[in-house]
Amino acid sequence: MNDAIPPDFVAPHRLILSRAALIANYRWLQAQAPGAACGAAVKADGYGLGAAEVVRILADAGCRDFFVASWAEAAAIAHLVPPVSISVLHGLRDADVAVARALAQVARPVLNTPVQVACWLGAGGDACDVMVDTGINRLGLSIDDLPLLDGLNITTCLSHLASADADVPQNAQQLARFQAVRSRVAATRFSLANSAGICLGADYHFDLIRPGLALYGGVPRGEATTHIHQVAFPEAQILQIRTVAAGEGVGYNATWVAERPTRIATIQLGYADGYLRGFSGTGQALTLDGVAIPVIGRVSMDLVTLALPDESELVEGDWLRIDFDLARAATQSGLSPYELLTSLGGRYQRFWAD
């Protein structure tokens, strides 16, 4: 921290994170696949929560397999997890080889293309993972590329479900293709199921499941609705309270106009905090005893305005909790739960509770 800022400094907005909810979500997902190991996707800085602390918490809970997108993400957590493994989902470029070799004791590339396979073999061909495309047509080797894998030391062979959040024929098609891959690839383990895929049942679990969104409070399918708990709770302090006269507008372009004299609270929250314009006129905050306060006017870069109830005794400096239930916030904002979590900005002070 900057020397000018005392260690007990409290910012005007903070992110309260529930260790108990994160662990409970992990335990429930783990229990759905008792015959498989349960890993964790911690890419995008632990889905916006802070990868370092997420990894520490989940490692203490028994997680031994972590998935990141890039080598920079792997390097950021490699020193935290010496007894476990990190899989780098986006594979390997020539520019990544030196870092990959340096992290070889804890991290493996997930090879996605023939060029990446050749690059890794040319670099010495230590243990690796491979991604085989079974229908998402994103990253991954094609079925026709499988002969290129001969001679590789493959720890985990992965594929990724495209539509596991819906009951569609594509799920069974991808499962059948991956079962065929398993008969042709020499790997120690096989992994297909993401958060939603875990809920599709035992056929999809194979040796390793790798939840992401559900760990952090996103409900991937209906089967998980009552079992997945909210982890991230943004809070903000009231910067100002003013009374707006009837007929006066609030915020950019006066999209909200007071019908009667109304007390307006302004809090420090906005685009850089992942609270985007879609919450304008749809979002809400909650007092710490649960009273809902609607967002009015436009969310702007750093500020949000709320209409206080007539009976409210809130004053400047009081804290409000932002309604960030992921399903409800997605409906309010038009954003996906993934966007909501990964947009949480670096200005929040993050506090892990319980």
252 assigned to active site? yes
pLDDT value at position 4? 76
Active-site residue, selected from the candidate residues 47, 216, 252, 348: 252
Q: How far from 11 is each of 44, 121, 317, 318, 349, CA to CA, in Å? A: 23, 49, 11, 13, 7
Residues 6+ apart with CB under 8 A from 134: 140, 159, 160, 173, 174, 177, 178, 181
Interatomic CA distance for residues 262 and 81, integer angstroms = 53
pLDDT value at position 336? 97
pLDDT value at position 5? 75
pLDDT value at position 2? 63
Predicted confidence pLDDT, tens digits, the chain (354 residues): 566 777 788 889 999 999 999 999 999 999 999 999 999 999 999 999 999 999 999 999 999 999 999 999 999 999 987 678 999 999 999 999 999 999 999 999 999 999 999 999 999 989 999 999 999 999 999 999 999 999 899 999 999 999 999 999 999 999 999 999 999 999 999 999 999 999 999 999 999 999 999 999 999 999 999 999 999 999 999 999 999 999 999 999 999 999 999 999 999 999 999 999 999 999 999 987 888 999 999 999 999 999 999 989 999 999 999 999 999 999 999 999 999 999 999 999 999 998
Interatomic CA distance for residues 18 and 209, integer angstroms = 23
26 assigned to active site? no
Active-site residue, selected from the candidate residues 43, 47, 204, 275: 43
Do residues 17 and 231 lie in contact, with contact meaning Cβ atoms separated by under 8 Å? yes
pTM recorded for the entire structure: 0.95
Residue range(s) in the chain whose domain bears CATH number 3.20.20.10: 33-217
**CATH fold for the domain made of 33-217:** TIM Barrel (3.20.20)
**CATH fold for the domain made of 232-353:** Lyase, Ornithine Decarboxylase; Chain A, domain 1 (2.40.37)
pLDDT value at position 134? 98
Interatomic CA distance for residues 197 and 190, integer angstroms = 14
Which structure tokens are listed for 172? 């069974």
Residue range(s) in the chain whose domain bears CATH number 2.40.37.10: 232-353
Which structure tokens are listed for 193? 């199921």
- Beta-strand ranges (E) seen in 92-229 are 107-111, 128-131, 154-158, 187-191, 208-209
Which structure tokens are listed for 237? 């302090």
Which structure tokens are listed for 152? 């590789």
Do residues 211 and 41 lie in contact, with contact meaning Cβ atoms separated by under 8 Å? yes
